[in-house]
Amino acid sequence: MERLWHCQDMPRVSKDPTPIAAAPARQATIRESNLALLYRLIVDAPAPVSRAALAAATGMTRATASALADALLAGGLIAEVAPPPAASAGRPAAGLVPARTGPAGWGLEVNVDYLAACVVDLSGTVRATVMRHGDQRDREVGEVLDDLADLAREVAVPGLKPAGIALAVPGLVQTPTGRIQRAPNLGWEDLEVTERLRKLMPEAMLAPMVGNEADFAALAEAHAGLEDGATNADFLYVSGEIGVGAGIVLAGELFRGSRGWAGEIGHVTVEPGGAACRCGARGCLETVAGLEALQRLGPQAAATALGRAVAAAVNLFDLPAVVLGGVYARADLAAVLVPGVAGALAEHVVSAPWAPVAVRASRWGEAAAATGAATAVVRRVHAEPAAWVGAGVA
């Protein structure tokens, strides 16, 4: 019967304890998931939440909800704010909000022509960003990481400490190991950097994360700096740099593909038999719409090619919106690329006649991936708050 435990359709047995399996070993998991449930409610709420409202929303007793909230408070993950002026009789309840001091997410990015760092607090607010321009191609990895360590210190904000650190790279990253498989525009192949990231920030509770820059940038677009509780749910994010990458967001979550390598839009063929690409093939989107080609051929050529590749992605994924990021978000380029891509989508997407696809420039510009990397750390804390909370409570 061993195989029964490996069925992919039965996550409830292994991950999600039910009332039928109440062995002592399960209790910690129930408490952990209740903590996470409560924290998620506080994080997603558009306004401060009272303990009574938490109890009502979860079906927990008031005492249980209160004890869990106290644990989150003690762990520094939430804060208590003064009640609003009483609108009705009786003593108004204090409200709970995500903490704006204490643990926070540190995001780093290495791209072809710049380095960046960003700090996002547990409320999802971007607290600081630093960027350093300069060609990173064919530099020694250790030197790049030393520079990133400098930036991580520079970006620090008084009152915030790293809960974890995430690094964005323009290439393919293995999940869940974080091994960098290939970042062709940096000249990087098969690199393990998580150990060095760990040493860079030994006080962080979470293990370092490494991910694709377009994926992280998409995460920033989905979650960072929005009004409390808001999310951009479904869209294709296209990142234009020296290379071109994409992050696909579905229901607010990144779509990573079987092995974490989804979104390689830069190597969709847009000009059969066209120019040679650094990947070895010909006519890839990057050869027409990468930054260098864009400077050489002009934004109109890039818009046509980009429209073709983006239309392919929208036909395949069925997405209602497209966000152009990286250099594509620069005002002068966006003025040509946004209408160009919108026109291609209207022409090539089968469902467009009755469900037009929205196209817009990213709000984050070049700092998007570092912002998204920091956001990824914050979301990890939101999903697994138990690590910050004493084991004996509730």
Strand residues in the chain grouped as ranges (E): 78-81, 95-98, 102-110, 114-121, 126-133, 160-169, 172-173, 180-183, 188-191, 209-212, 235-240, 244-250, 253-255, 321-326, 358-361
Place of tokens 């979650």: 223
Minimum CB distance to its own copies, residue 151 (Å): 28
Cα separation, 374 vs 108, whole angstroms: 8
User: By C-beta, is 131 or 297 nearer to its own copies?
Assistant: 297
Q: For residue 309, give the nearest of 267, 337, 252 by alpha carbon.
A: 267
To its own copies, the closest distance from the beta carbon of 263 in angstroms equals 6
Amino acid at 81: V
Nearest to 312 by CA among 354, 263, 273: 263
Least distance in Å: CB of 209 to its own copies?
18
- In sequence order, which residues have a C-beta less than 8 Å from that of residue 118 and are 6 or more positions away? 106, 107, 126, 128, 129, 130, 155, 367, 370, 371, 373, 374
CA 391/CA 394 separation, integer angstroms: 9
Between CA 64 and CA 279 the distance in angstroms is: 56
Alpha carbon 276 to chain centroid, angstroms: 32
Write the DSSP symbol of residue 271: S
Minimal distance in Å, beta carbon 33 to its own copies?
7
Taking the least distance from each CB to its own copies, the nearer of 86 and 251 is 251
Buried b vs exposed e over 242-267: b needs ≥16 C-beta within 10 Å? bbbbbbbbeeeebbbeeebbbbbbbb
**Residue 43 exposure: Cα atoms within 13 Å on the Cβ side:** 24
Nearer to its own copies, 23 or 391 (CB): 23
Shortest distance, position 271 Cβ to its own copies, whole Å: 7
Contact assessment for residue 166 and residue 216, using Cβ atoms and an 8 Å cutoff = yes
What are the φ/ψ torsions at residue 41 (nearest 5 degrees)?
Answer: -60, -45
Reduce the DSSP state of residue 155 to 3 states and report it: coil
Helices (H) and strands (E) in the chain, counts: 12, 15
Burial 92-127 (b: 16+ CB within 10 A, else e): eeebbbbbeebbbbbbbbbbbebbbbbbbbbbbbbb
Among residues 211 and 365, whose Cβ is nearest to its own copies? 211
Between 220 and 349, whose beta carbon lies closer to its own copies? 349
